[in-house]
Amino acid sequence: MTISDSKLNEKISILLNKDQGKSEQAHKVMRALRELIELCGDDPDREGLQETPERVVKAFLEYTEGYREDPKEHLMKQFDVKHRELVLVKDIEFYSTCEHHFAPFFGVAHVGYIPDKKITGLSKIARLVEGYAKRFQVQENLTSQIADAMEEILEPQGTMVVIEAKHMCMCGRGIQKKDAVTTTKAVRGIFTEQADARMEFLTLLNR
């Protein structure tokens, strides 16, 4: 089977929105992936590996779906309520791709904000996390991008984001510390100014 006549190829074309220029680029990447297989010491034409370049391209387009949307748009759907106290969405699972090694990193995001005028749907906060996670990332940028989007679109009294994640680039390669967990936080607005607000977030988080 050649790369161009397989079924997976059609799926890639759909993922690329039938963009002809991008499809050509995808073929170049598939050819490069054949080279990578050879570089690593295997035969790209052996049965198990024949479709691997296409599968890898398709998988990467899925890992990076966030580039093909504006995650902030999810927050545009808003409601007017009188609630002016902490809203905390805990344990939002995410799966991202380390921009240094293209290895997965994954874990949970906890997103809290104190509304001023507007609130958004809870699922929209999870969609925001997904939109930034599905890109090439470092955990610190992922954390601050989520906080900055909340601030810009909802204009709350403040936002606090905590992310806990495991990085596969520290497991199967390199330093090989499979149990290491990295925690990052981003605080904005009232959470920067008031220790009590941060404490309330952390108390609810650890319940």
Ligand X SMILES: Nc1nc2c(ncn2[C@@H]2O[C@H](COP(=O)(O)OP(=O)(O)OP(=O)(O)O)[C@@H](O)[C@H]2O)c(=O)[nH]1
Provide the residue type at 72 as one letter: K
Please check whether residue 120 is in contact with residue 79, taking contact to mean a CB–CB distance below 8 angstroms.
Answer: yes
Q: Is 40 annotated as a binding residue?
A: no
Structure tokens at 6: 């397989």
Q: CB of residue 172 vs ligand X: minimum separation in angstroms?
A: 11
Instruction: Tell me the three state secondary structure of residue 167.
Output: strand
What is the DSSP code string of 132-164?
A: HHSSEE-HHHHHHHHHHHHHHHH--SEEEEEEE
Using CB under 6 A, pick the residue from 49, 138, 171, 202 that binds ligand X. 138
| Catalytic residue positions, numbered | 98-101, 139, 167, 169
Q: Is 140 in the site for ligand X (CB under 6 A)?
A: yes
Q: CB of residue 128 vs ligand X: minimum separation in angstroms?
A: 18
Q: CB of residue 35 vs ligand X: minimum separation in angstroms?
A: 21
Q: Is 176 in the site for ligand X (CB under 6 A)?
A: no
Q: Is 170 in the site for ligand X (CB under 6 A)?
A: yes
Q: Is 169 in the site for ligand X (CB under 6 A)?
A: yes
Q: Is 100 in the site for Zn ion (CB under 5 A)?
A: yes
DSSP structural state of residue 44: T
Which residues are part of a known binding site for Zn(2+)?
98, 101, 169
